[in-house]
Amino acid sequence: MSTTVDPLLADNTLNDPRRRSPLVLGGLDYAGVTKTVCAVASETTPPPLWFLAFALSVSWAGVFGLCIAYLIFTGVGVWGNNNPVYWAFDITNFVFWVGIGHAGTLISAILFLFRQKWRTSINRAAEAMTIFAVICAAIFPGIHVGRAWLAYWLAPYPNQMAMWPNFRSPLLWDVFAVSTYFTVSALFWFMGMIPDIATLRDQSKSKIRQFVYGVLSLGWTGSSRQWHRYEKAYMILAALSTPLVLSVHTIVSFDFAVSQVPGWHTTIFPPYFVAGAIFSGFAMVVTLLVPTRVICGLENLVTIRHLENMNKIILATGCMVGYAYGIEFFIAWYGGNPYETDTFLNRAFGPYWWAYWTMVSCNVISPQLFWFKKIRTTPWMMLIVCIFVNIGMWFERFVIIVTSLARDALPSAWHYFTPTNIDLLMLIGSFGVFFSLFLLFCRFLPVVAMAEVKSIMVEHHHEDHGHGHGGHAHGGHGGRH
Amino acid sequence: MADTLDHSIEPQETVGRACVGLSTGLLVAGAIGLGLTVAIELLFGTGAKGFFHRYLVAFAFCMTITLGSLFFVLIQHLTKAGWSASVRRIAEIYTLGTIPLAVLFLPILVSILLGSHALYEWNDVEHVKTDALLLGKSGYLNAGFFSVRAVIYFLVWIGLARLFVYTSVRQDVVGSPDLTSRMEAWSAPGTLAFSLTASFAAFDWLMSLAPHWYSTIFGVYVFAGCLVACFATMAITVLWLKSKGFLKTAVNVEHQHDLGKLLFAFTCFWAYIAFSQYFLIWYANIPEETVWYKARLSAWKPVSGFLAIGHFILPFIFFMSRHIKRNSYLLGFWAVWGLLMHWLDLYWIVMPQMSSEALTFSLSDVTVLVGVVGIWGGTIGLLARDMSVLAVSDPRLPEALAFKNL
């Protein structure tokens, strides 16, 4: 055994340019990784905390369901929407949740193409979160159509009424973009999970679990031919998903930007929305993983370095969002269009000033705290910042949607929007759905991509099993990226 | 294992050995090119208007390559990248272009301070008084503030370029990995300063050619072009240096493949941004915004169409395959093509503002390009004559040498 402790193993947020910091701590080997991850989805009773959280989430999901039922029986008048604010909480919630749903596929596709090996510990949970967020998002336009039982009219299909949706409307492109994104993300998530589900199948003792995991693992044996196909498919799905990550929020931004509404129509919207989506998505991943890694005992896999890396991405995308706010304001003045200038002054100093400054404080100022390493690497501190970011990104959509509508081109029509209790309950309720699904995922599926984590610790396993460190002068060593 | 491969690095290979003669030649060609341009424009062309517009295209061409390289260096340190340690020095050397470009900007700056409005309509003080929109913007678009901003941009860029180049070159000798940590620490605020200065430079120098027009995405559009230009130039430079016997073991097909992938990715990113700008303006159809495209869809329509096909569709189809990116000749072809299309993109941004009724292609477009590229490239070559083309002591170099694509 080594007599000295490797400083990078003691604190893997330290940087030594000569070698990569370890991404798996606690001296875990292959078996250790399997044991750690499978323990989370084990057959023993989960901790009481899980039941408490689940009961709370499911209750709120139930409230959401009741609100939807009430809305369908009564009509969208139960919301605070008015004339001219025809879009309010419903579309805000939709854009908010779609935005959250961008981190997972970014991590599994774009960070994969960029060979960011640290993504392996977090991609599974982030992809799951993506799917659940898109589910939450899809509910809102579905019920906003008013007659929710006719929501299928959103899809173009030949019918005897010869009635088609408007192909020129970005709202229809949304239907395509979001459903494509959901399908590909779900496929990517499931396909990536097959080897790990097979591991759960092999580790399970209960007959029911063996059967269910057996069916879901599609007969995976781990043969080299299967791995070969799996890796090819993974690469293809990553390449296909990359433009999808950009396209979904680009099209969501088109919902606003193709119009002539001041504050909505501006050319920076597509990349600005994508940056904002990644920003909010990563903030939600950190918000979920900080407690999850402790409760599920994953500290050696989802290390402080993983969290720090995500916080750096949050800082970078937060600056991009701040850049977009600044450029919008500058061009609103520079463009010389009085309506545009007025809209922006109205945002900052009009009746919704409180929403605007909440947005700026949460989205632009709070992530600047991540310049300090202490805050980037201390779980409770980053959790606070990330919750602020989540709040700020919800307000960003609220500010964009409501301020531009509430004071439209006709001053006599101006109308202040106030949410009803149903609006608020539905917003909270959608979190209930999201957390319920995430808690079920933690309970029954592999929360960390075991096979992928093992793939980056190949040489680590051979070289320093049981040792502090070997002669790592060079990079290229798995497990240390 | 990586160690079984031959990773011995060639001893100090300086650019000087490769191109002191070439640099001098470039400088001479540059001077002749600029002289010829002045002669052609004054004798046969449109005088100062024609000269300055063509000059701006060539200046922006070199400027975008240089800024793209600066961003590349910053982002490699920001992400602690390993694969790029063997090609980063090439980008570092191109960032030295900020120095000759500061000098090359003087003709534009001086002419504006002297009150010329050959290039920028907003500098015509009498005209501005009669134009409500321009009068409204005159707090920003005026000769004094324009010059102050330009000085700030160049101070930031030259400062960043010198910081990164000379720290990296010092590491060649000292070998201390702490220098890498230092550059990494500077890269974050550096990227922030870069993005702000580059965006506003794009607004000032290119967008304000059409002073009534505005587009919030314009800074991102020019930034996308910077990266296309940078990756194309890096690929060409790597291939050229290898053909001269440099970087034989340090840069292999894997690095060429990666440069090709980045060139491909940012070609697509450029298309995404260009499409977003065009599409949103086309769809909303507001006259004060469509005016910019209107100037590009009359006489310039074939050029606009060719730009969409040449800058995106052709490389998207024919440069996607990994076999093409890994073939030196084909990579070289598409890099040259990308650079040509980038020049055309800049030409298409600048020239319709001078003449929207007729195409303006002329021999002086070539001579001015030779002139500016010659002075820019020649100065870079002389400034870098004692520098190694490889960051030989970079602590991540072994990782770059051992790296393989899937």
Contacting A residues, span 233-272, partner chain B, CB-CB under 8 Å:
235, 243, 246, 250, 254, 257-260, 265-271
So what's the pLDDT on residue B22?
Answer: 85
Instruction: Point out the residue among B195, B216, B272 whose CB comes nearest to the CB of A268.
Output: B216
| In-domain check, residue A21 | no
Instruction: Point out the residue among B184, B196, B402 whose CB comes nearest to the CB of A476.
Output: B402
| In-domain check, residue A383 | yes
- For residue A463, pLDDT over 60 is answered with no
Select the residue from A16, A228, A334 to test the B interface by mutation, using most B Cβ atoms within 10 A: A334
Q: A135 in helix, strand or coil?
A: helix
| In-domain check, residue A7 | no
Report the distance separating Cα A185 and Cα A107, nearest Å.
Answer: 11
Contacting A residues, span 93-152, partner chain B, CB-CB under 8 Å:
114-115
- For residue A397, pLDDT over 60 is answered with yes
Determine contact, residues B65/B385, Cβ cutoff 8 Å.
Answer: no
| In-domain check, residue A177 | yes
Report the distance separating Cα B312 and Cα B268, nearest Å.
Answer: 7
| In-domain check, residue A421 | yes
Yes or no, beta carbons of B398 and A336 under 8 Å apart: no
B2 touches chain A (CB under 8 A): yes
What is the chain A residue with the closest CA to B177? A17
- For residue A26, pLDDT over 90 is answered with no
Mark the ranges of chain B whose per-residue pLDDT is less than 70.
Answer: 1-18, 406
ipTM attached to this prediction: 0.92
Residue A464, both tokens: 């320093």
CA angle at A334 for the pair A332 and A335, rounded to the nearest 5°: 65
Determine contact, residues A184/A247, Cβ cutoff 8 Å.
Answer: no
- Average of per-residue pLDDT values in chain B: 91
Contacts of A264 (CB under 8 A, 6+ apart): A256, A257, A400, A404
Reference A123, options A445, A452, A439, A382; nearest CA is A452
Determine contact, residues B271/B312, Cβ cutoff 8 Å.
Answer: yes
Instruction: Point out the residue among A267, A323, A334 whose CB comes nearest to the CB of B280.
Output: A267
- Residue scoring higher pLDDT (A351 or A14): A351
Backbone angles phi, psi at B388, to 5 degrees: -70, 150
What is the chain A residue with the closest CA to B179? A17
Expressed as residue numbers, the domain containing A170 is 29-474
What is the chain B residue with the closest CA to A112? B406
Determine contact, residues B68/B227, Cβ cutoff 8 Å.
Answer: yes
Determine contact, residues B168/B391, Cβ cutoff 8 Å.
Answer: yes
- For residue A3, pLDDT over 60 is answered with no
- For residue A5, pLDDT over 80 is answered with no
- For residue A384, pLDDT over 90 is answered with yes
- Band of the pLDDT at A481, cuts 50, 70, 90? very low
Whole-number Cα distances in Å, B22 to B15, B26, B90, B356: 10, 6, 17, 38
Chain B nearest-CA distance from A56, in A, is 40
Contacting B residues, span 124-143, partner chain A, CB-CB under 8 Å:
132-133, 136-137, 140
Determine contact, residues A147/A480, Cβ cutoff 8 Å.
Answer: no
- Average of per-residue pLDDT values in chain A: 88
DSSP B250-271: TS-HHHHHHHHHHHHHHHHHHH
- For residue A471, pLDDT over 80 is answered with no
- Band of the pLDDT at A464, cuts 50, 70, 90? very low
| In-domain check, residue A71 | yes
Contacting A residues, span 362-381, partner chain B, CB-CB under 8 Å:
371
Q: Mutual orientation of helices A269-295 and A224-257 as an angle, nearest 10°?
A: 130
So what's the pLDDT on residue A458?
Answer: 58
Residue A454, both tokens: 């093992």
Q: Taking residues A268-294, what's their average pLDDT?
A: 93
CA atoms B103, B109, B114, B119: torsion sign = positive
pLDDT in tens, A39-92: 887 767 778 888 999 999 999 999 999 999 999 999 889 999 998 998 899 999
Q: Cβ-count burial of A45 within 10 angstroms (0-12 exposed, 13-18 middle, 19+ buried)?
A: exposed
Q: Mutual orientation of helices B143-174 and B47-78 as an angle, nearest 10°?
A: 40
- For residue A203, pLDDT over 70 is answered with yes
The domain that holds A103 is classified in CATH as 1.20.1630.10
HEC-encoded secondary structure of B339-393:
HHHHHHHHHHHHHHHCCCCCCCCCHHHHHHHHHHHHHHHHHHHHHCCCCECCCCC
pLDDT in tens, B264-318: 999 999 999 999 999 999 999 999 999 999 999 989 999 999 999 999 999 999 9
So what's the pLDDT on residue A103?
Answer: 81
B195 touches chain A (CB under 8 A): yes
**Per-position b or e across A155-171, b if 16+ CB within 10 A of its CB:** eeeeeeeeeeeeeeebe
Contacting B residues, span 205-224, partner chain A, CB-CB under 8 Å:
212, 214-220
pTM for the complete prediction?
A: 0.93
Other Cβ atoms less than 10 A from the Cβ of B132: the count is 9
CA angle at A220 for the pair A298 and A31, rounded to the nearest 5°: 35
**Per-position b or e across A112-132, b if 16+ CB within 10 A of its CB:** beeebbbbbbbbbbbbbbbbb
Which chain A residues are within 8 Å of B195, Cβ to Cβ?
Answer: 319, 323
| In-domain check, residue A23 | no
pLDDT in tens, A88-97: 999 999 999 9
Determine contact, residues A92/A422, Cβ cutoff 8 Å.
Answer: no
Instruction: Point out the residue among A246, A331, A474 whose CB comes nearest to the CB of B272.
Output: A246
Chain B nearest-CA distance from A385, in A, is 19
pLDDT in tens, A130-184: 999 999 999 999 899 888 888 888 888 888 888 899 999 999 999 999 999 999 9
Residue whose entry in the numeric block shows the structure tokens 């959509």: A397
Determine contact, residues B403/A115, Cβ cutoff 8 Å.
Answer: no
Yes or no, beta carbons of A250 and B272 under 8 Å apart: yes
So what's the pLDDT on residue B380?
Answer: 93
| In-domain check, residue A1 | no
- Residue scoring higher pLDDT (B117 or A480): B117
pLDDT in tens, B48-103: 888 999 999 999 999 999 999 999 999 999 999 989 999 999 999 999 999 999 99
Range A52-59 contact pairs with CB under 8 angstroms and sequence separation of 24 or more:
A53/A435, A53/A439, A54/A436, A54/A439, A54/A440, A56/A432, A56/A435, A57/A431, A57/A432, A57/A433, A57/A434, A57/A435, A57/A436, A57/A439, A58/A432, A58/A436, A59/A432
Whole-number Cα distances in Å, A393 to A372, B180, B267, B356: 22, 35, 30, 43
Contacting B residues, span 76-95, partner chain A, CB-CB under 8 Å:
79-80, 82-83
Q: Taking residues A319-328, what's their average pLDDT?
A: 94
Total domains in chain A come to: 1
Contacts of B75 (CB under 8 A, 6+ apart): B81, B187, B191
- Residue scoring higher pLDDT (B314 or A23): B314
Alpha carbon A268 to its chain centroid, in Å, reads 22
Determine contact, residues B70/B356, Cβ cutoff 8 Å.
Answer: no
B167 touches chain A (CB under 8 A): no
Report the distance separating Cα B24 and Cα B33, nearest Å.
Answer: 14
A324 touches chain B (CB under 8 A): yes
Q: Taking residues A233-245, what's their average pLDDT?
A: 87
